Amino acid sequence: MIGAGRARADDKPAARQLLCEGIVKILCVSDTEMPQLYNAVNLRRQYSDIDFVISCGDLPPGYLEFITSIIGAPLFYVRGNHDEIYKNEPPGGIDLHGQLVEYGGLTLVGLEGSIRYNRGAIQYTQRQMHGSVLSLTPRLLWHRTARRRGIDLFVTHSPARDIHDGSDVAHRGFASFLNFMKWFKPRYMLHGHVHTWDRRKQVQTQFASTCVININPFTVLEVDPI
């Protein structure tokens, strides 16, 4: 059984530890550079058992590469709406956008960017993101049929519509992500984009078969491959 709990807040923001009986340990990061994760001694002490790192976007390549190089774990990421620098300076890792990737006994699928609110290059209309979801459908259906496996981790920058999203235009979620979860039933949806400095904000929601988590600024997740 997989359970979850929110870590106790202290004077300095700390990772939310989501406890479960899993054997794959994932450090998830997004949006905000944290001093704790720019400290090599702390990284080695606290996160030496991390199996891989997931970035949900809006982080400098150097920050991600520092973390992964110190703990010796691979990086999987999607770009956030502010990650235009990745075009010329991508971080060392696997870009999950529009991809289905298997690693550590888990299946990952990713979609980048936010809702379009200005002329940014990594922004999408609701219709465009719906098209991106549809373009993934043949591969995901083949995977489910041929491999007899579902999706473990749906990795995005933006939240889904009406789940952890904001009321302002720039932070509205994508309605097509709701369809993705209904159709493909990922075990987890991991996203960032919406800041969580107010610890009263809800950061974990069950939607149908999917546990939706706002991992911003960083979260440790343990998942049992099935």
Is 16-223 CATH 3.40.800.10?
A: no
Residue 176 contacts residue 199 (beta carbons within 8 Å): no
pLDDT, average across residues 152-160:
98
Residue 221 contacts residue 26 (beta carbons within 8 Å): yes
How do residues 73-121 score in pLDDT, each as one tens digit? 999 999 999 999 999 999 999 999 999 999 999 999 999 999 999 999 9
The residues near 29 (Cβ < 8 Å, ≥ 6 apart) are 37, 53, 54, 55, 56, 59, 64, 67, 215, 217, 218
Domain ranges of the chain: 16-223
From 37-51, 64-78, 186-200, the region with the lowest mean pLDDT = 186-200
- 181 three-class SS: helix
Q: Can you tell me the distance from the alpha carbon of 14 to that of 92, in angstroms, rounded to the nearest whole number?
A: 25
Residue 55 contacts residue 193 (beta carbons within 8 Å): no
pLDDT of 8 > 60? The answer is: no
pLDDT of 18 > 80? The answer is: no
For the whole model, what pTM was predicted? 0.90
Q: Annotate 67-90 with three-state secondary structure.
A: HHHHHCCCEEECCCCCCHHHHCCC
Q: Check residue 7 and give its pLDDT.
A: 33
How do residues 178-215 score in pLDDT, each as one tens digit? 999 999 999 999 999 998 877 678 999 999 999 999 99
The residues with which 205 forms a beta bridge, in sequence order, are 212
Residue 39 contacts residue 55 (beta carbons within 8 Å): no
Instruction: Tell me the pLDDT band of 1, cut-offs 50, 70 and 90.
Output: very low
